[in-house]
């Protein structure tokens, strides 16, 4: 998707602070961190949000979760971390390319659930 900011990051057209990459997944530091560690994990194929996951593309969501676990080891997040994916307007999604936020490095008291 030529006009998608995260597709352009994957293509190297927009700079990013890479944390992890494999055949399926790219991960980089959030430009506006909400915790000492704030990493975004995205599939290399454009999927708009969790709401667009299908039987045909769900392997990419699974690959993102594998990457979350690998990044948690790589970044020494043994104190714990939170994974969030905002989906759509009411959840405040601002970039329409599926992404999982990894938040860590502080105690997160403001739980919704
Ligand atoms: P969301 O609001 O859940 O859709 O999350 C989008 C996230 O992307 C926000 O936390 C932004 O700070 C982050 N973001 C937007 N543009 C960039 C960029 N160029 N590099 C890194 N993070 C970005
Ligand atoms: Zn995209």
State residue 85's pLDDT score.
98
State residue 2's pLDDT score.
78
- Mean pLDDT for the stretch of residues 33-58: 98
Higher-scoring residue by pLDDT: 26, 113: 26
Of ligand 1's listed atoms, the one at least distance from the Cα of 95 is: 4
Dump the DSSP string for 40-78. Answer: EEEESS----GGG--TTTHHHHHHHHHHHHHHHHHTT-T
CB atoms within 10 A of CB 11: 11
Map tokens 């990013």 to a residue.
16
Mean per-residue pLDDT of the chain: 96
pLDDT tens digits along 1-32: 779 999 999 999 999 999 999 999 999 999 99
The ligand minimizing its distance to the Cα of 6 is 2
- Mean pLDDT for the stretch of residues 60-83: 97
Residues with CB under 5 A from ligand 2 (ion): 1, 4, 6-7, 46, 97
Our answer on whether the CB atom of 86 is closer than 6 Å to any ligand 1 atom is yes
């Amino acid at each position: 998707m030529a006009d998608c900011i995260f597709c352009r990051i994957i293509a190297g057209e927009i700079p990013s602070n890479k944390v992890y990459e494999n055949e399926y997944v790219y991960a980089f530091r959030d430009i506006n961190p909400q915790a000492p560690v704030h990493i975004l994990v995205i599939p290399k194929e454009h999927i708009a949000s969790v709401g667009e996951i299908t039987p045909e593309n769900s392997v990419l969501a699974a690959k993102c979760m594998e990457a979350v676990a690998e990044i948690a080891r790589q970044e020494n997040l043994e104190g714990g971390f939170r994974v969030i994916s905002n989906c759509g307007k009411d959840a405040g999604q601002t970039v329409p390319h599926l992404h999982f936020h990894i938040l860590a490095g502080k105690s997160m008291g403001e739980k919704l659930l």
